[in-house]
Amino acid sequence: MTDRSLTRIAGVFSFASPACAFASIPLAISIGVGPAPIDFGDGDTLLRLAALSPKPFWVALLSVLGPTLALPVGVGWYQVLRQHGSYVTTGVLLWYVGMVLIVVQDSIEVALVDYLPSAYAAADAAARPSLLALGAFTGKSDALLALIGDLVSFFGLVLVNVALLQVRGRSRFVGVVGLMSTAVIVTGLIGPFLSPQVGSLAFLRGPGFTLFMLWNMSMGVMLWRWKPAETDARIAIAAIS
């Protein structure tokens, strides 16, 4: 497989991942699921999800498909940016570690959405407290796993975007957008944990997520258009000068 074939495949996945994410938004709005994690320890929430079945399952499935389809993209980033410093390798590796955690977290959420609401709705009064305890424990563990995965992957993305700033042309603008989206999302993630007074910053996840999806598609265009011959020529000219 040629270098350009590799980056073009990565570019296709760079569009497929945001497509799944954007497809889940109208479904999520229709069932009242926001950017905050689902409270699987709340009986009313479980009964509502059971009544809306199978929509919650499709939302969860699209949510896990998004990061799963994004996994091949990091190889393309490395191919295009590796000549800009060894830290690019570190950035891509961190991004992969974080994304694996996110895929695991989203997979757990798919299992919870598929099983817990229907089980709670069908259970008798004696069994329901146990199901709520299971939902609360698993849900909080799931949310913590998502937080760790997001922070690790976005730290890796910072390094990738710093490398983009060293590339001439529109790539620098893409790098600026990537750094902005990362800063906004991370602020929305850790703000509520730092102090109750900044808990309202959680709303930043939505705009940051949208900006990040646009960054992903911009990277898809860059990966699709990339030509190794042109890259090698730039390196040769830089070495001569």
Tell me the pLDDT tens digit for each residue of 96-132: 999 999 999 999 999 999 999 999 999 999 999 999 9
Whether residue 127 is contained in a domain is answered as yes
Q: Is the pLDDT of residue 232 over 50?
A: no
Number of domains in the chain: 1
Whether residue 186 is contained in a domain is answered as no
Whether residue 180 is contained in a domain is answered as no
Whether residue 162 is contained in a domain is answered as no
- Binned at pLDDT 50, 70 and 90, residue 238 comes out as very low
Q: Is the dihedral of CA 154, 136, 38, 115 positive or negative?
A: positive
| pLDDT score at 138 | 92
Whether residue 178 is contained in a domain is answered as no
| pLDDT score at 73 | 93
Token pair 């989203």 is found at: 106
| pLDDT score at 206 | 75
Whether residue 121 is contained in a domain is answered as yes
CB atoms within 10 A of CB 136: 14
- Binned at pLDDT 50, 70 and 90, residue 226 comes out as confident
Q: Which tokens hold the place of 219?
A: 């990277």
What range does the domain containing 20 cover? 3-153+217-240
Q: Is the pLDDT of residue 203 over 80?
A: no
- Determine if the pTM surpasses 0.75: yes
Residues 6+ apart with CB under 8 A from 133: 41
Whether residue 143 is contained in a domain is answered as yes
Whether residue 193 is contained in a domain is answered as no
Question: Rounded to an integer, what distance in angstroms lies between the CA atom of residue 14 and that of residue 30?
Answer: 26
